[in-house]
């Protein structure tokens, strides 16, 4: 596939004597919330999002990796596994195929997910064209919201400037979004016989919105501008409060939205189609050419959109 020197969200492996590609991703990270079953769902979303990002419509299954402390209560490990299983079966109509567990000094959660895609349906992350519109399917800000989640338990005095109702609402929307898969985005794409109008696609995670947008520019001499920032309830205020790089769009995300570079002539129609299928989204900017290759910038007149509910 010629992907050896390119950064993609998952490994892409040709299936011999067929028009299929096997797409595989592995992801492991440490817990960010204390509820085991919800943490399992977040982990499953985080693993599978990278597979969906290459336009795979069906996850074949997941192999779970779990690192547990020797003194971890059994209900915690069981809860994580139940959460992963629930996410795979109920939200993706897929399954858990097996996995591996080790003893670890710190909890580790993740696994390997895979699926198949036809060669003519594969969407890579680095084929942007000048004039493309950028569509994002989840607001940013769950890093700041998860900081509030932790402080609510350990240092509530640091949140005294915010009402408990608003903090609880901010945390809820962040969690709800993290356990929402990106499968509906791909299902919408498959309503089109020809998907070539979608030039590039990636999911937003650890490098933040600007970081993943920069990856989309990696094989081009083009640049990008962000003109609209949809952010989760209270996330901008919390980011300023605790020193996260909101203005530069460099806050890390967990199980974030899909970032899609779309032919400008079809961007509005595709955005509307996503909405009809229950996928909220925003056109947040465009691909341009400023003679500064791979430069991502935030407009000085950027529009900030606070998303109070999804």
Q: Which CATH superfamily is domain 133-307 in?
A: PurM-like C-terminal domain (3.90.650.10)
Q: Flag whether pLDDT at 11 surpasses 70.
A: yes
28-50 average pLDDT score: 96
Q: What is the DSSP string of 159-178?
A: GTTS-HHHHHHHHHHHHHHH
Q: How confident is the model at residue 80 (pLDDT cuts 50, 70, 90)?
A: very high
Q: Flag whether pLDDT at 5 surpasses 70.
A: no
Identify the residue whose tokens are 């500064």. 292
Maximum CA pair distance of the chain?
A: 63
Fold of 11-121: 60s Ribosomal Protein L30; Chain: A; (3.30.1330)
DSSP code, position 90 = I
Q: Read off the tokens for 235.
A: 């996330």
pTM greater than 0.75 (yes/no): yes
Rounded to an integer, what distance in angstroms lies between the CA atom of residue 212 and that of residue 296?
Answer: 10
Domain residues of the chain, as ranges?
Answer: 11-121, 133-307
């Amino acid at each position: 596939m010629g992907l050896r020197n390119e950064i993609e969200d998952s490994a892409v492996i040709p299936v011999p004597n067929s028009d299929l590609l096997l797409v595989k991703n592995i992801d492991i990270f440490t817990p960010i919330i204390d509820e085991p079953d919800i943490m399992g769902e977040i982990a499953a979303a985080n693993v599978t999002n990278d597979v969906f990002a290459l336009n795979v419509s069906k996850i074949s299954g997941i192999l779970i990796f779990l690192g547990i402390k020797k003194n971890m209560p059994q209900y915690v490990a069981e809860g994580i596994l139940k959460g992963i299983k629930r996410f795979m079966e109920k939200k993706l109509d897929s399954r858990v195929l097996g996995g591996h567990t080790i003893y670890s000094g710190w909890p580790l959660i993740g696994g390997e997910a895979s699926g198949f895609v036809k060669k003519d349906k594969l969407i890579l992350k680095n084929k942007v064209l000048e004039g493309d519109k950028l569509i994002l399917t989840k607001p940013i800000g769950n890093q700041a919201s998860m900081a509030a989640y932790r402080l609510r338990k350990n240092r509530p005095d640091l949140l005294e400037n915010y009402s408990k109702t608003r903090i609880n609402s901010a945390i809820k929307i962040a969690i709800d979004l993290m356990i929402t898969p990106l499968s509906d985005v791909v299902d919408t794409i498959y309503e089109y016989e020809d998907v070539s109008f979608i030039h590039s696609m990636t999911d937003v995670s650890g490098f933040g919105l600007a970081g993943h947008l920069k990856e989309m520019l990696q094989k081009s001499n083009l640049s990008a501008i962000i003109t609209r920032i949809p952010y989760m309830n209270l996330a901008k205020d919390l980011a300023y409060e605790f020193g996260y790089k909101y203005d530069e769009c460099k806050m890390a995300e967990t199980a974030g939205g899909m970032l899609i570079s779309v032919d400008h002539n079809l961007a509005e129609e595709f955005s509307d189609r996503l909405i009809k299928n229950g996928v909220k989204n925003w056109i947040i900017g465009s691909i341009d050419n400023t003679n500064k290759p791979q430069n991502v910038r935030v407009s000085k007149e950027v529009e900030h959109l606070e998303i109070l509910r999804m």
